[in-house]
Structure 1
């Protein structure tokens, strides 16, 4: 079964594996398949579920809400996010203004079929709204009981420090950041993780398998498998393209004997690797089929020894993205981008 970790400097525990429904629910798979994967997640011991209003333009939240209907609410940890344009994408249907945040939390709760979310996250940093306005709105939402904790996603170390200071001043807890992180994408290690450790903020990491590349199914010099993320024209392909260079794919293939020696599959090795970082509270995984979860959840509780970690670093030498400046590139330059 899946283990639990504290989220940030709080008494709140979440499952080491979080089920996320980006791309899948409301777009790639139908409601019946979505419900089947959610049931599989629950059966495997996953109680933490992450979504966002922007996923499938509001539909992913609704799908998750229906899939979780009838479950004991107190036994679940439900997360969602706000920032990106949604609905008709009017001038106030985006960003972290008070108006958009207040409208968005009410819509998210309605679609999820719940009175509150455990964690409400700023999906990106909004350079066009005063940070004080954003955090005052977040603080009001917490005091109204519509969210228990506040988190962010893909914020720089400086932005985390500024947000944490404001949250503390307003008497609410900023306890998490949700960045991309994997063996191949390590850009948070230089600045974001040290700042987070100092502030009492945990990472809930997305794409621990580097958009599926660390599964080993993408082979150098060959076309991407039919139906894979790399062939998804609805949005998946653009996120994976940076990892599809032959030198990266060749390095990934060098992980195969390392995984076998550790008694793990390639996906299990990838997820176990991110969970070795003590600042990581949970790894976000998705699934389009229930059986995919049965494999990945087995990475929970795995400890990789120093020799295995060193072998991974040698195998991926030259293929890793680790420049901290990449975090800034994840933030949109305008609210509509």
Structure 2
């Protein structure tokens, strides 16, 4: 008697390991990763080992994504409170023992230098989603007030460092959870209308408000200058307005089709500041033009819409709110970065997901995607 053992195909051997991945979401990420590697190769061509380091950071992010995708949403929920408490404790430690660089105290030396505020980008929506899951079916106005306090504490600590970019991202992630939990439009509309009125008054009375010696409440001087520079970059073209002006020049010089890969003069002649980090979108725009920008924006929109679709089909309140927050985080990352480079938003330290160089941000993105993959997998298990 003879036995014939059929060797399984490569796909059959690796498919069980890919069970936690959502196909459309993975496709969007793959397209963004390819765009990031191509852009970084050009923008960081004469920037030491920036391209190799960017690839390494991506591999680390994918390892984190793969690991987190295997963790059930129930297990993630059990980590919400400890992770939030550790994050807030580290932010308090930064206030007392933090490392100061370029006038900002954002880092903590614990053998290695870490930036605790990055933890809150994930810990904040986790905590609020956990809170609203516990209050399911019995939500009252007081519950939203408690959620607001939980959000205000880390946002206030991050703004004190100061780190406006990260505080805005944490605030957006937290507010998205509170909104998706059922916050009434009657409470949402007044702040929005007040913000629109404030922006209108700022534009109309810009010369008076931005005159020397005029102080604004709640904002530090450098933050005030960023807003004034946004309204009129020409007031300091070689100083505070240099970033915005050069970014807009690079975007405009790309035209419809772009100058071509490795052909960006603004990029390679080093006119674009921070061309591998915060302003890499300007380098991308110069080489790939309007068409490339539209494709990049469409890919980001597809990623965000897919994340929202995962949220709509999530089996629990916790999963639904958390997936919605992840969609908001990716949207804010892309919108704020492209907006500041294009000159429609103030310059803040927000990277472009998967395109900009940065190890800490890449880890955060990997965590967010892993959470979305985990929720998508739990949705399929419930259906089956």
Shorter chain as denominator, the TM-score bin is: under 0.3
* Structure with more of its chain in helix, by fraction: 2
Q: Which has the larger strand fraction?
A: 1
- The structure with higher relative contact order (CA 8 Å, sep 6+) is 2
* Structure number with larger C-alpha Rg: 2
Scaled by the length of structure 2, the TM-score of the pair is 0.25
